Amino acid sequence: MTRIDVKKTYKLYIGGAFPRSESGRTYEINDSNGEFIANPAQASRKDLRDAVLAARTSLPGWSGATAFNRGQILYRVAEMMESRSGQFIDEICALEGVTKTVAKKQIEESIDTWVWYSGWCDKISAIAGSTNPVSGPFYNFTTPESMGVIGVFAAQKPSLLGLVQALAPVLAGGNTAVVVTSQKFPLPAISLSEVLATSDVPGGVVNILTGKTNELAPWMASHMDVDGLDISGLSKDVETQTRIEGTENLKRIHRFPDGNSPQRILAFMEDKTVWHPVGI
């Protein structure tokens, strides 16, 4: 008799735990051939609310950690992903219908993205900060600081790389994140949450929601305790509405081209300028 596989239940990742949606909803994910794969949770607005709260709660610890420490933790994520790359390759192949080589390239690029941003943590403020030569007896400097809780709408595809390209810079800047995964291809994101949970990323720093992007977008956009949004994965037709809703607390909302750049880190950092007299 052939052994029956033990299949994974794909759940949300909120505050370091793996809850089901409070709504009890799931939705069906099929592979590229239309075969059933899984029933991931379909997150509700209340799950989003809980995720934002978890992100806010974990913010002081994460933003207060030394940049060097954050860099080490992001590097640890890369290590953990590398050791699990087989699992990611299988999921990407099944969902996106790509060859193993293509999937492998995606996971490798994702791992390398973590490594790249890991190294940025303790350099970004040296590159983007400044000492400003003001006229007068004052020492004046500007330094970028973490912005707060950032909502991330990851690219629909490539599902893993798009997510990592959005999430890593948000974390490198010292922010915490609430991620809405690719709607159609959410499984690598859930596996990523398992990686995060077993790396040293504190619970709540990253919160991952699967479900219907356009259902969650307005709640994320209008949430008054979210400071910024990466809408790279949001379709153009809901972008304007999302931006309008985001103005209620003047969220910083950005859409980025593919790829890695220090600008993606800085987009979710705030420049703080400090003045102090120089005297005896």
Q: Name the residues that contact other proteins, by CB under 8 A.
A: 127-128, 130, 132-138, 140, 142, 145, 147, 227, 239-240, 243-244, 246-250, 252, 254, 263, 266-267, 270-280
CB of 255 to other proteins, least distance (A): 11
Cβ nearer to other proteins, comparing 24 with 259:
259
CB of 232 to other proteins, least distance (A): 15
Place of tokens 């099929």: 30
What's phi and psi for 153, nearest 5 deg? -100, 100
Cβ nearer to other proteins, comparing 24 with 136:
136
Which residues neighbour 193 within 8 Å (Cβ) at sequence distance 6 or greater?
13, 18, 206, 208
182 and 154 in contact (C-beta within 8 Å)?
A: yes
Cβ nearer to other proteins, comparing 82 with 145:
145
CA–CA dist 251, 224 (Å, integer): 9
CB of 178 to other proteins, least distance (A): 18
C-alpha dist (Å) from residue 53 to 59, 130, 150, 204, 205: 10, 33, 12, 9, 11
CA–CA dist 25, 3 (Å, integer): 30
Cβ nearer to other proteins, comparing 27 with 138:
138
CB of 146 to other proteins, least distance (A): 10
Cβ nearer to other proteins, comparing 68 with 83:
68
CB of 145 to other proteins, least distance (A): 8
